[in-house]
């Protein structure tokens, strides 16, 4: 079974968005999504309003896009707003809450981005957003995809919608089981968080600026990795 989530959606609880919860929900339904993560800047204010507006078959993940001292960080499945702090401290806070930490548009140098402690970040974080439909330059997403592959991290996608029409432009495909149930619909095995942690996710979408290219790049990386493995396994010409 495959489900599709937009894992980065803003509402009018973000200063830079004027999208009311009801409009975001209807856009998500129109886009045929199975779920969205509400990820306003440093607030959980509108999560409940989006849940109230959502039909039963649209899963709403409680999230925050945290402003760290470096780049932005998606805190998914959290119940409290993490502090605006050093990224490693923010990731710790997310994990203490049982949430999932995802680097958000990590190398988009036209916005807040990451350039320090990248190895420590890769060790700490759960996933990398490799398709963000608001990255103006293709290479920002390509670098994020390469970083995820190099560090064997799951890759997610999100529209980063600030307007309803953008919802679903990029998304995360989840393979296998996602149980919607439990108290907040996300508890226990089979949750969206679990799917991210287990790597049962892949980014997709045809954003305004990109994304076929990212899919191509991901495919190229995989193919290249496969060839290297074959060479090593066959004891072949890895050295020449
Ligand atoms: Zn951001
Ligand atoms: Zn955002």
DSSP 88-113: HHHHHHHHHTT-EEEEESTT-TTSS-
pLDDT the model gives residue 240: 38
Edge-first strand listing for the sheet containing 201-205: 155-158, 127-132, 100-104, 72-76, 59-67, 35-41, 2-9, 170-175, 201-205
Spatial separation of the C-alpha atoms in residues 198 and 190, rounded to whole Å: 10
Residue 119 lies in a domain: yes
Residue 228 lies in a domain: yes
Give 167 Cα–ligand 1 centroid separation in angstroms.
15
Spatial separation of the C-alpha atoms in residues 6 and 12, rounded to whole Å: 17
* pTM score of the predicted model: 0.83
Check which CATH number belongs to the domain holding 52 and give it: 3.20.20.140
pLDDT the model gives residue 184: 45
Residue 240 lies in a domain: no
Residue 7 lies in a domain: yes
Q: DSSP alpha helices (H): ranges in the chain?
A: 21-30, 47-53, 87-96, 118-124, 138-150, 192-197, 212-233
Residue 60 lies in a domain: yes
Domain count, the chain: 1
Residue 90 lies in a domain: yes
Nearest-CA neighbor of 42 among 73, 62, 67?
Answer: 67
Residue 160 lies in a domain: yes
Cα radius of gyration (the chain)? 17
pLDDT the model gives residue 203: 95
Give 62 Cα–ligand 2 centroid separation in angstroms.
14
Spatial separation of the C-alpha atoms in residues 173 and 178, rounded to whole Å: 11
- Give the closest ligand to the alpha carbon of residue 72: 1
- Which tokens hold the place of 233? 């396994």
3-state class (DSSP) for residue 176: coil
pLDDT tens across the length of the chain (240 residues): 799 999 999 999 999 888 999 999 999 999 999 999 999 999 999 999 999 999 999 999 999 999 999 999 999 999 999 999 999 999 999 999 999 999 999 999 988 999 999 999 999 999 999 999 998 888 899 999 999 999 999 999 999 999 999 999 999 999 876 665 444 444 444 688 889 999 999 999 865 554 444 545 565 565 565 555 555 555 544 443
pLDDT the model gives residue 186: 43
Give 111 Cα–ligand 2 centroid separation in angstroms.
10
Burial class (CB in 10 A: 0-12, 13-18, 19+), 28: buried
Give 201 Cα–ligand 2 centroid separation in angstroms.
20
Query: What range does the domain containing 184 cover?
Result: 2-233
pLDDT the model gives residue 185: 43
Residue 171 lies in a domain: yes
């Amino acid at each position: 079974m495959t489900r599709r989530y937009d894992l980065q959606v803003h509402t009018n609880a973000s200063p830079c968005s004027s999208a009311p919860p009801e409009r975001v929900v209807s856009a998500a339904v129109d886009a045929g999504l199975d779920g969205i993560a509400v990820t306003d800047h440093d607030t959980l204010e509108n999560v409940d309003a989006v849940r109230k507006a959502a039909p039963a078959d649209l899963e709403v993940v409680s999230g925050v896009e945290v402003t760290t001292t470096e780049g932005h960080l998606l805190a998914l499945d959290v119940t409290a707003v993490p502090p605006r702090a050093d990224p490693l401290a923010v990731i710790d806070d997310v994990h203490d809450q049982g949430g999932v930490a995802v680097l958000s548009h990590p190398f988009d140098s036209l916005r807040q981005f990451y350039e320090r402690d990248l190895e420590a970040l890769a060790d700490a974080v759960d996933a990398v957003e490799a398709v963000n439909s608001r990255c103006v330059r293709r290479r920002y997403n390509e670098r994020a995809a390469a970083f995820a592959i190099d560090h064997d991290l799951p890759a997610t996608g999100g529209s980063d919608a600030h307007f309803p029409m953008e919802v679903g432009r990029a998304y995360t495909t989840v393979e296998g089981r996602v149980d919607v149930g439990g108290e907040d619909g996300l508890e226990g095995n089979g949750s969206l968080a679990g799917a991210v942690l287990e790597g049962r996710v892949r980014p997709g979408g045809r954003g305004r600026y990109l994304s076929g290219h990212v899919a191509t790049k991901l495919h190229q990386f995989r193919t290249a990795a496969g060839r290297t493995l074959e060479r090593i396994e066959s004891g072949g010409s890895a050295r020449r």
